[in-house]
A and B are shown apart, each in its own frame.
Chain A
Amino acid sequence: MRLMPTLEGGMRIEIETPTDWLVLEQIAPDALDGGNDRLPQRLGALMDEQSDWEGVVIPELKSFFTGQISCVVEGVKRGQEAVDLGKEEASGEVFITKEDADNWYGALNQARLALEARYKFGQSEEIEDLEEFGDDKRSAFVRNRFYSALQGVLLEYVID
Chain B
Amino acid sequence: MVPIDFPIIKKKAKQSTELDSSWNVVVFDDPVNLMEYVSKVLQKVFGYSKAKAEDLMMTVHGTGKALVWSGARERAELYVQQLHQYQLQASLEKAE
Contact = CB atoms under 8 A, between A and B. Distances in A.
Q: Are the chains A and B members of one assembly? A: yes
A148 B87 contact: no
A6 B81 CA distance: 33
B16 interface: no
B26 to A, nearest CB: 9
A46 B31 CA distance: 18
A43 B90 CA distance: 7
Grouping DSSP codes into helix (H, G, I), strand (E, B) and loop, the A interface class, with mixed when no group exceeds half, is helix
A123 B31 contact: yes
Q: Classify chain B's interface size.
A: 20 to 34
Interface in A102-159: 105-106, 109-110, 112-113, 116, 121-124, 148, 151-152, 155-156, 159
26 contacts: A39-B87, A43-B89, A43-B90, A47-B80, A47-B91, A48-B92, A50-B12, A50-B18, A51-B77, A52-B12, A57-B84, A109-B32, A109-B37, A109-B87, A110-B87, A112-B32, A113-B32, A113-B87, A116-B32, A122-B31, A123-B31, A124-B31, A148-B34, A151-B37, A155-B36, A155-B40
Interface of A: 39-40, 42-44, 46-48, 50-52, 56-57, 60-61, 64, 105-106, 109-110, 112-113, 116, 121-124, 148, 151-152, 155-156, 159
Given A40-B84, A43-B89, 19 more contacts: A43-B87, A43-B90, A46-B91, A48-B92, A50-B12, A50-B14, A50-B18, A64-B85, A106-B86, A109-B32, A109-B37, A109-B87, A113-B32, A116-B30, A121-B31, A123-B31, A155-B34, A155-B36, A159-B40
